[in-house]
Structure 1
Amino acid sequence: MSQIRDRVPDVNDAEVAAADGSGPDGWEARLPGRLAELRVERDWSLDELARRTGVSRSTLSRLERAEISPTAALLGKLCSAYEKTMSQLLAEVESESPQLVRSGQQLVWRDEASGFTRRSVSPPQRGLRGEVMEGVLQPGADIPYDRPPVPGQEQHVWVLEGILQLTIDGDVHQLRNGDVLRFRLWGRSRFRNPSTKPVRYVVVIVQQ
């Protein structure tokens, strides 16, 4: 299984991350071109995109030229700028997902450095408003997000195993087996595992 590091890139960011689909015909090979298309569609310069994301111009340029692969944090910042969920962005460079999504077809990101695994269980599909993601955080894992891709986005977080400390717009919630937190996300969020065992949870996203 490939890995992807989840951290905030800076001006000197030369780190490379990879994920499933990184072969010559996989989604990762097509992602840089799609990111460049999205910027051009909005008539944004690299400087403008850097201003909107807080990511250096040089990092964005290297990403669009496929010289580096995006970290999870960088991809999250781009998704926020383009008002797309990560699953929506990846779906744009994948063939359309079938009605029945087999386990082996579900895209998995694994960030062993921060202890985070993300599985796109039910990716976006034309005509459907919902998507489902499964997350696993190892003990001590702490994943912050600056903002949602779409302000006011509706999410439902359901803990299957373990303890999840979830901070939504400054409010801290401790969720245990079977607990569900439902909310609309306007600002920062943070997923943290404060326990000594992994936590497994499901995130259901409902598009507006």
Structure 2
Amino acid sequence: MHSEEMMKKVGNELRKIRTQREFTLDELADRTGVSKLTLGKIERGETNPTLGVMWKITTGLNIPLTKLVSVEPSVAVSKCGEGFSLKGPDEAWKVEFIFQNQIDSTIEMYRAFLSPLATYCPEPHHKGLIEVATVMEGRIEMKIEEELYELKQFDSIKFEGSHVHSYKNLEERPAVLHLLLKYEE
């Protein structure tokens, strides 16, 4: 699915959820911290929101990120570089969705790419969300609350995603991670 088609799907799904919950755009803006103007553009499929904006929306609605972007074919192949992706505000961090809502509606998987020597500090996620990160290429320093953890290729870390955390690429080449997010049922 092309990015424009996906953004229209995201917008339609967001509008559907908002109307089912009987929220106005103003109420949704208050819940999420995302402006009414931006939410309207997303609902109309006129903008490609950053990952941070998507996290704010899904956290405010208490839904998995893939709820807004799920596509459900009977057989799915996720090829690197060909799927729907979102970038962080400085474009040093990029995530590609893997099997959007295909495994279980409470699990999300992503490929993440972090530019050389860059740091990415995501918005804290939903309370109760468990995040598992595996370094596929490179070396990463994870900061979770005030603790530092160094991870090399194929090392994994599991933590509560609502904790303040960051990813720092320690090398002068891009780092690649596999992320799994598990929501409470």
Q: Give me the TM-score of the superposition, normalised by structure 2.
A: 0.82
Match of 1:207 in 2: 183
Q: 1:196: how far off?
A: 1.4
Going from structure 1 to structure 2, the CA distance change for 1:153 and 1:43 (only over 3 Å counts) comes to same
User: Does 2:54 align with 1:78?
Assistant: no
Q: 1:64: how far off?
A: 2.1
**SS, match of residue 174 in structure 1:** strand
| Mapped contact 1:106–1:121 kept (Cα < 8 A) | no
Which is further off, 164-173 or 177-186?
164-173
> Could you tell me which of 179, 197, 203 is aligned with 2:173?
197
Structure 2: 5+ residue runs without aligned partners?
none
**SS, match of residue 58 in structure 1:** helix
Partner Cα distance (1:161, 1:137) in 2:
10
> Could you tell me which of 146, 162, 181 is aligned with 1:186?
162
Identity of counterpart residues, as a percentage? 22
| Mapped contact 2:51–2:86 kept (Cα < 8 A) | no
Partner Cα distance (1:58, 1:174) in 2:
40
Partner Cα distance (2:32, 2:105) in 1:
28
- Aligned-residue CA RMSD in angstroms? 2.6
| Mapped contact 2:144–2:163 kept (Cα < 8 A) | yes
Q: What code does the residue aligned with 2:127 have? A: P
Match of 1:46 in 2: 25
Q: Give me the TM-score of the superposition, normalised by structure 1.
A: 0.74
Q: What code does the residue aligned with 1:152 have? A: G
Match of 1:174 in 2: 150
Match of 1:66 in 2: 45
Going from structure 1 to structure 2, the CA distance change for 1:129 and 1:38 (only over 3 Å counts) comes to closer
User: Does 2:141 align with 1:165?
Assistant: yes
Which is further off, 60-69 or 107-116?
107-116
Match of 1:145 in 2: 122
Match of 1:22 in 2: 3
Deviation by residue 1:98-133 (Cα, 9 ceiling, x = unmatched): 344252796242649522232222332265653321
Structure 1: 5+ residue runs without aligned partners?
1-19
> Could you tell me which of 99, 122, 132 is aligned with 1:156?
132
Q: 1:77: how far off?
A: 1.0
Q: 1:41: how far off?
A: 1.6
